[in-house]
A and B are shown apart, each in its own frame.
Chain A
Amino acid sequence: MAVTWNDVSEGMSIPELKKNCSTQQLVLWAAGSGDFYQIHYDKDFAVGTGLSGIIVHGALKNAFLGQLVHDWIGNSGKLKKYGCSYRGMDFPNEDIICKGVVTKKYEEGGEKLVDLEVWTENPQGKKTTPGYATVSLKS
């Protein structure tokens, strides 16, 4: 069931979303997003730019965080704003764990709002994609 505003408390964690990208998923994303930069599917090209290999698209991790929040709020809530910074690289076939914590619960302009800190974590526990989101929920 979708979460309601009344259910939310500051400091609570939202259910995690685990991802692990195959190179095939990165090619799917290239087609879906229109980002055809070769560092995301051509290993020789990636190494030629100084990277250790193919890396996961930052915008895909941003989309994962969008899914994390959507899966939590369902269709009774609305995602109003979200964003993230790309602080660390993630690689194919390594876990990307998406997590979120409620940082603020408040009412504004007649809306029941919740702010979250969201992020992706790599297998070493490093937050490679720290971000934030604001959602409106029904009571």
Chain B
Amino acid sequence: MAEELPPLVTEEMKAQVGKESAPSTSELDNTGIRMFARSVGHTDPIYYDDAAAKAAGYRGIVAPPGYLGTPVFNPNAGSRRGPGGMFGGPEPTRPLRRVLNGGTEIEYLEDICSGDVLTSTSHIASYEETKGSLGEMLITVNKTVYKNQLGKTVAISTGTSIRY
């Protein structure tokens, strides 16, 4: 048995769990939704055509599953993840340079349509370390809550990232 390494997760990282991020804005417009829908290969006109979306009972062109708007890009703002490299925030005890997307869940509470402006805040729900086929892995679960311009919570997304 090789000698046991100390945990990857530091006290500083543990202190970050549950802390709400600063709010972030994402926008939905016809062009952005069409681009997303096209890249998936959707064929339903509600994702492309305003009249078709309205005929189906929506306020406007509909956000396809998985699309929660395009984050507003600001070249003069630091990364949302903050300084400190690719991931930002406190670093684990040993460097983990690679990252894979582990999984995604979205819960929808209201329709999301073109013209909506979503404000989201996220927090780290948990850190977990494990060993797998890729060696030592750090699994981070992030939760993000999206509200629309009326202040209604429209979606809650949960993302799992795997660093190794």
Contact = CB atoms under 8 A, between A and B. Distances in A.
A32 B39 contact: yes
Given A34-B71, A70-B64, A86-B102, A80 B107 contact: yes
For the side of the interface on A, what is the size category?
20 to 34
Report which residue of B40, B57, B67, B158 has the largest number of chain A beta carbons within 10 angstroms of its beta carbon: B40
Interface of B: 32, 35-44, 46, 56-57, 64-67, 70-71, 98, 100-108, 158, 160
B159 to A, nearest CB: 9
Contacts of A63: 36, 40, 64-67
Contacts, number: 96
B98 A50 contact: yes
B37 to A, nearest CB: 8
B44 A33 contact: no
A25 B92 CA distance: 35
A83 B70 contact: no
Contacts of B107: 80-81
Interface of B is mostly: mixed
A129 B41 CA distance: 18
Nearest to A78: B108
Interface string A32-70: 111000000000000001100000011110111111011
A63 B158 CA distance: 15
B104 A84 contact: yes
Given A32-B37, A63-B65, A84-B103, 15 more contacts: A25-B41, A28-B38, A31-B35, A31-B39, A33-B66, A58-B104, A60-B40, A62-B104, A66-B66, A70-B65, A71-B44, A75-B44, A78-B108, A79-B108, A86-B101
